[in-house]
């Protein structure tokens, strides 16, 4: 689509037919959907005598479904295989280069956002280029199909119309298929690939939360043993913004306690936002030296020494 001839006259242009005849053939190929728009574009290309970039919103946002909708099935396959592979290759090359050259200058908190931003810019640039040449591409397809039917059925208008309507027009099935494939791809990403990325991050967040809470509990236990009181005013310096610490004389999930260290997970972004507001609680049992651990996390996520509340 991005490698379209721009010579004059446009490819497959039939100079010998009249404008009225050409318009009729175009109408048969385009079909009723957005016919006025494409007839206007085709006329512009015919008058100027060469192909040029025009903007096409549908191709910018949904190129693959649009190709299926306009019955460009083989082109949709080529676009999805070659086009997407080309995009992914460019993203990989740029990301690897940026990783070695400049990523060390980006703060850790913004590195993932930077990677996503680089990939999005490359994808948007590709979509921009495709959208600029889509009308020229579709015009070229129309002229090619019209040239074929005029060659195959030079005097049979009924056969010409049938052939152009079969090769052109729109397909609601193709449109639904395109969106269905997008939904399938997003489902695969969510079910198969996101957990691969998220699991190490999840483990890191849970480990840090437990480590911070346990370290604080050791300090609190020592002060409690010395003073016999819960040091609720103990200063807490935490390097991890994803963990909020609180020392209190009561805590959710601890029905019988006089001192508790409560670690709350916060500010976790997609795809681990489900961890936000979950707590890990180390609490002291009155009239004993025992400290126990409880958590709002489920059994799969809870640390071994902590029981879900």
- Region 91-118: mean pLDDT is 88
- Region 206-234: mean pLDDT is 92
Residue-wise pLDDT tens digits, 263-300:
999 999 888 889 999 999 999 999 888 999 999 999 99
DSSP conformation letters of 252-274: TTBSS-SEEEEEEE--PPTT-GG
pLDDT at 2 over 70: no
The Cα–Cα gap between 203 and 275 comes to 11
Q: Which of 281, 283, 280, 279 is nearest to 259 (CA)?
A: 283
User: To which residue do tokens 């610490």 refer?
Assistant: 245
Q: What is the pLDDT of residue 45?
A: 92
pLDDT band at 1 (very low <50, low <70, confident <90, very high): very low
Within 10 angstroms of residue 78's Cβ, the number of other Cβ atoms is 13
pLDDT at 7 over 70: no
DSSP letter at 229 equals S
pLDDT at 116 over 70: yes
User: CA angle, 19 as apex, 13 and 25 as ends, to 5°?
Assistant: 70
Q: What is the pLDDT of residue 82?
A: 86
- Region 182-188: mean pLDDT is 86
The Cα–Cα gap between 94 and 89 comes to 9
pLDDT band at 212 (very low <50, low <70, confident <90, very high): very high
pLDDT band at 4 (very low <50, low <70, confident <90, very high): low
Q: What is the pLDDT of residue 3?
A: 44
- Kindly give the pairing relationship between strand 259-265 and strand 243-248: antiparallel
Q: What are phi and psi of 295, to 5 degrees?
A: -150, 155
Higher pLDDT, 85 or 166: 166
Q: What is the pLDDT of residue 75?
A: 92
pLDDT at 62 over 70: yes
- Region 121-138: mean pLDDT is 93
For the chain, helix (H) and strand (E) counts, in that order, are 9, 5
Q: What is the pLDDT of residue 296?
A: 93
SS3 of 40-109: HHHHHHHHHCCCCCCCCHHHHHHHHHHHHHCCCHHHHHHHHHHHHHHHHHHHHHHHHHHHHHCHHHCCHH
The CATH 3.30.700.10 portion of the chain extends over: 208-308
pLDDT at 95 over 60: yes
CATH of region 208-308: 3.30.700.10
pLDDT at 246 over 60: yes
Q: Which residues contact 148 (CB under 8 A, 6 or more apart)?
A: 163
The Cα–Cα gap between 244 and 249 comes to 17
Higher pLDDT, 74 or 15: 74
pLDDT at 56 over 60: yes
Question: CA dist 130 to 30, 105, 124, 287, Å?
Answer: 20, 33, 10, 73
What global pTM score does this model have? 0.66
> What rounded mean pLDDT belongs to the chain?
89
């Amino acid at each position: 689509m991005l490698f379209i001839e721009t010579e004059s006259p446009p490819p497959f242009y039939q100079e010998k037919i009249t404008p009225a005849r050409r318009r009729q053939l175009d109408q048969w190929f385009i079909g009723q959907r957005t016919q006025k728009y494409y007839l206007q574009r085709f006329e512009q290309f015919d008058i100027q005598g060469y192909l040029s970039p025009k903007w096409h919103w549908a191709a910018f946002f949904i190129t693959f479904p649009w190709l299926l909708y306009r019955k460009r099935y083989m082109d949709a396959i080529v676009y999805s295989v070659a086009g997407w592979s080309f995009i992914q290759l460019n993203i990989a090359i740029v990301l690897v280069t940026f990783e070695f050259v400049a990523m060390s200058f980006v703060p850790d908190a913004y590195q993932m956002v930077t990677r996503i931003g680089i990939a999005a810019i490359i994808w948007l640039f590709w979509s921009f280029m495709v959208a600029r040449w889509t009308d020229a591409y579709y015009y070229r397809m129309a002229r090619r199909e019209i040239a074929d039917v005029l060659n195959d059925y030079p005097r049979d208008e009924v056969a010409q119309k049938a052939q152009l309507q079969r090769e052109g027009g729109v397909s609601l099935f193709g449109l639904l298929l395109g969106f269905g494939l997008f939904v399938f791809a997003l489902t695969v990403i969510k079910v198969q690939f996101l957990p691969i990325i998220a699991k190490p991050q999840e483990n890191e967040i849970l480990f840090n939360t437990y480590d911070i809470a346990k370290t604080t509990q050791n300090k609190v236990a020592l002060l409690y043993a010395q003073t016999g009181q819960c040091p609720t005013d103990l200063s807490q310096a935490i390097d991890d913004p994803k963990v909020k610490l609180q020392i209190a004389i009561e805590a959710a999930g601890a029905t019988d306690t006089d001192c508790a260290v409560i670690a709350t997970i916060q500010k976790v972004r997609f795809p681990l936002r489900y961890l936000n507001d979950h707590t890990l609680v180390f609490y002291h049992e009155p009239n004993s030296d025992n400290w126990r651990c409880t958590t709002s996390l489920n059994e799969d996520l809870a640390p071994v020494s902590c029981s879900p509340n």
